[in-house]
A = this chain, B = another copy of it.
């Protein structure tokens, strides 16, 4: 049992702190024979990398991933894959003055209370920088999915930033990669840019966001009862990401307001198998995938590090005002998109492997 790991058969353990020499992920359980190259993983790391546009932190890390084990002559061997990312832009002097203070909204105080030890440099282990390792591991998961289940795609995007939401009638998959917000609605992008710019420069403030992840092409039958449920694992995966405060599947929290008649996803028989008239279930029934799109959302709280003073205390209990300088994202939700994708890819791959191990070819047939 590792408290820094996730996954059953595809098992990832991340390590490293914001300002240590390096961070990374130990990836165990990747099947053999999967083509994995550093440059393939780098694509996903670059998507998360800071300093990519004016809306993210200007910390300038190359985030170059090195594969130290588990890959030989370009393909996985079935043994643990070590992915290491060197920290190069460790301006820890930005943090020297917070060694004795606790920043509100950060884990500074709870890490101190728990461990009696604190790596104050940029939050140490609790820094969102840890998610770079998850993105690298997610790249391995994507590579394995590409081989084992070629039709599966995992796509994340922002559907809300602060008070601004997308208009779903304008939803465009192709737009997602074309703007700074991974936003599928081209009609709101300019407005979002102005809004965020104003918040950061004028208001010295930050804002939360809602991310949606859609997994298309996953087969029916992934998941397992009770605690190995696909939705349980997806919820845990998303909630484990820094700053996430809520996660929902399909109709999600809104299901509390629905009636059974409205919520029912009626079933019909299509040419290739069962089809559903709607997808309130988010592609998961009883913890097991239906074959529909798997749809989930998670809420990311606003960046706690802002220039506006907030009241706090020092280790000695004395009062002080915290003004967090340093280089921070005004909306951490933007960079949470590739992180959520990486976690979803890892969970889906994990359940593909589990399903293969546990049920073999025992599948029930529907239709003639």
Contacts and interface: CB of A to CB of B under 8 A. Distances in A.
A239 interface: yes
Contacts of A21: 66, 68-69
Interface in A76-133: 76-82, 84, 102, 104-107, 109-119, 123-126, 130
Contact of A266 (B119, B233, B310, B360): B310
Interface stretch (A54-62, A181-189, A275-283): A275-283
Given A77-B124, A358-B9, A260 B363 contact: no
B235 A247 contact: yes
Interface in A261-311: 261-269, 274, 277, 280-282, 284-291, 297, 299-306, 308, 310-311
Given A68-B15, A205-B260, A227 B221 contact: no
A139 interface: no
Contacts of A155: none
A318 interface: yes
Contacts of A208: 255-259, 263
A114 B317 contact: no
A50 interface: no
Interface in A1-44: 1-6, 8-9, 11, 13-17, 20-24, 26, 28-29, 31-33
Size band of the A side of the interface?
A: 35 or more
A341 interface: no
A221 B365 CA distance: 31
21 contacts: A2-B29, A15-B80, A16-B80, A17-B72, A21-B66, A79-B119, A105-B260, A109-B267, A113-B220, A113-B290, A113-B291, A114-B220, A114-B364, A207-B259, A253-B299, A256-B333, A264-B306, A267-B311, A269-B317, A315-B366, A356-B356
A251 interface: yes
Given A78-B114, A102-B267, A116-B359, 8 more contacts: A3-B225, A4-B227, A20-B69, A23-B69, A77-B125, A110-B221, A162-B258, A260-B303
